[in-house]
Amino acid sequence: MNWSEETITVFGGSGFLGNRIVRQLVELNCGKIKCFNRSAVPALEKLGVEIIRGDIREPGAVNDACKGSTAVVHTSAKAGIWGSWKDYYSINVEGTINVLTACKYNGIRSLVYTSSPSVAYPPTHDIENLDENAPYPDSYIAHYPATKAIAEKNVLGSSYKELSAVVLRPHLLWGPGDPHLLPRIVRRAAAGKLVRIGDGHNLVDLTYIDNAAFAHIKALEYLKKCTQPRRKVFFISDNSPVRIWNWLDELLAKLSIPPVTKSISYDKARLAGIIFETIYRVMPFLGEPPITRFVAGQLAFSHYFNISAAVNELGYRPVAIPAVAMADTIEWLKQNV
């Protein structure tokens, strides 16, 4: 693939994942990179990236950002475990519709959409070696997976017949710059508030940020080779599920934080989630509940995936060296949490 001939628009390019994708595109000498997000990104601007500030919920701004592009990477999303349905829907669903419309209007035939494995399973039991043939669950217990599933279906079912799209489902992103997962866990553990849910034996897939970004690069290369429109879904991970509570204890030890000793059963955590969700819906000024049903399931059960399709069809492989990835993450956490 001759990257020098490509113009790539990355939606959410200032985010944890988007930033890494943009930097990998810079390293590949991509002809032109446009980064669409709400904030200024001086560090990327210094690398020659065009920064376009806007809101993905604004169709005109999204359309303008796509003009002249040969491909689009869409990583923008409202993540997290709590918030209003309106906010999740407007960003995750309507924002994705705006991207699809802009691709059609501008004749862009290649789209990489960042989804989530949480669209494919309910966190109410163990999920082991799940692949892309699994059907969508009948219902969801959180707004994030519910809206990401709608958005994913819109990408796969778009009426724009010339569009080729790859939907990637990277699981639990981690690494330096993580704004969500590890900093929150480390702070709770340091305060003695982290509680193990379940028996602690659950196996969980993780995806180091450089590996996730590399998957997006391979997806762009895959789309470039498509001679006929195709739409495919791929799970992405480090391909090495960990016993998550042991993994966290090892990470905490490297930060000189005591291991997690408190525990609670899944049933009790789920009940607490129901109670807190009810209270916090009635009194939204309280902020985010300390536990939800979704979080209880994510922390109690196994959830790991079969990534052989991504390996065989995209040519994806984890590129980060695990020991180096962990060392870099620990150093970043020491300086930023």
The residues that are catalytic are 144
* C-alpha–C-alpha distance, residues 125 and 102, integer Å: 39
Cα three-residue angle 31-37-38, rounded to 5 degrees: 145
Q: What are phi and psi of 58, to 5 degrees?
A: -100, 105
Task: Classify burial at 50, counting beta carbons within 10 Å of its beta carbon; exposed 0-12, middle 13-18, buried 19 or more.
Answer: middle
Place of tokens 């993580």: 178
CA 75/CA 142 separation, integer angstroms: 19
Using the Cα atoms of residue 146, residue 83, residue 98 and residue 45 in order, give the sign of their dihedral: negative
The interaxial angle of helices 244-254 and 181-190, nearest 10 deg, is 70
For 118, residues 6+ apart whose C-beta sits below 8 A from its C-beta are 142, 144, 145, 148
Task: Measure Cα distances from 162 to 4, 98, 99, 168, 332 in Å.
Answer: 23, 17, 15, 19, 43
Among left, alpha and beta (phi > 0; psi -120 to 50; other), residue 200 is left
User: Are the beta carbons of 170 and 205 closer than 8 angstroms?
Assistant: no
